[in-house]
Chains A and B, each alone.
Chain A
Amino acid sequence: MTKEELKIKLTELIPAATIDESSEWLIINIKPDELLTTADILRNKPELNFDYLFCQTCVDWKTHLTMVYHLESTKFRHQVVMKVQLDRNKPEIETVSHIWRTAEFHEREVYEMFGVNFLNHPDLRLLILPDGWEGRDPMRKDFEDPVNMIKL
């Protein structure tokens, strides 16, 4: 589907979302408690069929965190970006690893780098960082490590 058709379809199926058209793909902004229903709609509705999560990451805007999900349909070849805004002091969100299996590893990485807690994740622990780095959240903007990081 083209971008306009997709926009019409999404406003009809997900009324609570705000849709942003400023970049190459459509961006859907939703609240954290609507994540599972929206993900279910995007994955299972036959005319949308977003079965391929190709990038899942988090961006630290200094007042809040934003989870970014890039989705694509292998059948219709359209893409959409889903963004969820999280509270910085207590970032919690549901996991989508039962819908898209690739999210298991991606969510573990976001957990260790940003400190986001994924509820009902099968195995949430450190993936890339060494032991003892729980809670240090290196990718956040206020991370300081005067011992290891030598600033240019």
Chain B
Amino acid sequence: MTDKFKSDSSLAFPGEVHPTPSGGVLVSKLDDVINWARSNSLWPLVFGTSCCAIEMMSAAAAKYDWSRFGFEVARATPRQADVIIIAGTIVNKMAPVLKRLYDQMGDPKYVIAMGACATSGGPFFYNTYSVVKGADHVIPVDVYVAGCPPRPEALINALMLLQEKIKKGLTREQIREESKIEYQKAV
């Protein structure tokens, strides 16, 4: 897991440099360059419902600064945002609002489910009549973060995983197939 971040290929500008006497020529694929640009300037949407929102604010503040990674500009309107971080519990009354916000975002858009409540209902799984047991019942989720609430470092780790995913440039189904193959190899 940590090896991926140590190798040069994932963080550097994609492409090969052919050295020439006056500097060099960089050859790359357009797709790779676009993915690199997209992943390094994701703008999150301001969407926090409950306790995880405070840890999201901590991740945005000075100690665990997430603007080092490019997520500086947190927009309030979904039309200008790239990623929606679902921080908090989703209840039956809020689910249509979440769907409407997701529909208003422009493609390509990504979703991070932060915390136990957004992943699966969390501590409010049993004996509640109003909690949606996981935000992926409403919108498709790319990265799940565990914790109640997760530490700001865990959220930043999730954002880095999302960056990796974007740089690969695969669709959701292709990533699922790839991770199935890797899991079976490990087992």
A and B touch in the complex (CB under 8 A): yes
Evaluate contact between B127 and A152: CB separation under 8 angstroms. yes
Q: Is the CB of A130 within 8 A of B93?
A: yes
Contacts of A129 in B (CB 8 A): 93, 130
A151 engages B126 (CB within 8 Å): yes
Q: Considering the chains assembled together, what is the distance between the CA atoms of A129 and B93 in angstroms?
A: 8
In the complex, what residues of B have CB within 8 A of residue A32's CB? none
The residue in chain A whose Cβ has the minimal distance to the Cβ of B126 is: A152
Bound together, the chains give a CA A21 to CA B126 distance in angstroms of: 38
What is the chain A residue whose CB lies nearest that of B132? A148
Q: How far is the CB of A130 from chain B (nearest CB, A)?
A: 4
Q: Are A148 and B126 in contact (CB under 8 A)?
A: no
Whether, in the assembled complex, A145 has its beta carbon less than 8 Å from a beta carbon of chain B, the answer is yes
Q: Cβ of B93 and Cβ of A150 under 8 Å apart?
A: no
Q: How large is the interface on B (under 10, 10 to 19, 20 to 34, 35 or more residues)?
A: 10 to 19
Tier of interface size on chain A: 10 to 19
Q: Does B2 contact A (CB under 8 A)?
A: no
B69 at the interface (CB under 8 A from A): no
Alpha-carbon gap, A15 to B128, bound state (A):
43
| CB–CB A148/B93 < 8 A | no
Interface presence of B50 (CB below 8 A): no
- List of A residues within 8 angstroms of B126 by Cβ: 150-152
Question: What residue of chain B has the Cβ atom nearest to residue A139's Cβ?
Answer: B129
Nearest Cβ in chain A — how far from B34, in angstroms? 41
Contact yes or no, A149 B127, CB < 8 A: yes
Whether B157 is near chain A, meaning CB under 8 Å from some CB there, is: no
Contact yes or no, A148 B125, CB < 8 A: no
Scan residues 54-70 of chain A and give those whose CB is less than 8 A from a CB of chain B: none
Expressed in whole angstroms, the minimum distance between the Cβ of B145 and any Cβ of chain A is 23
Report A119-152 residues with CB < 8 Å from chain B CB: 129-130, 138, 143, 145, 148-152
Q: Is B77 an interface residue (CB 8 A)?
A: no
Chain B residues closer than 8 Å to A130, beta-carbon distance: 92-93, 130
Interface pair B92/A149, CB less than 8 Å apart: no
Give Cα distance in the complex from A151 to B128, angstroms.
Answer: 9
Name the A residues within 8 Å of B127 (CB-CB): 149-152
Binding site for B on A (CB under 8 A): 129-130, 138, 143, 145, 148-152
Q: Contacts A148-B129, A152-B126 given; 20 further ones with Cβ under 8 A? A: A129-B93, A129-B130, A130-B92, A130-B93, A130-B130, A138-B129, A143-B129, A145-B129, A148-B92, A148-B128, A148-B130, A149-B127, A149-B128, A149-B129, A150-B125, A150-B127, A150-B133, A151-B126, A151-B127, A152-B127
18 A-B residue pairs with Cβ-Cβ distance under 8 Å, sorted by A, are: A130-B92, A130-B93, A130-B130, A138-B129, A143-B129, A145-B129, A148-B92, A148-B128, A148-B129, A148-B130, A148-B131, A149-B127, A149-B129, A150-B125, A150-B127, A151-B126, A151-B127, A152-B126
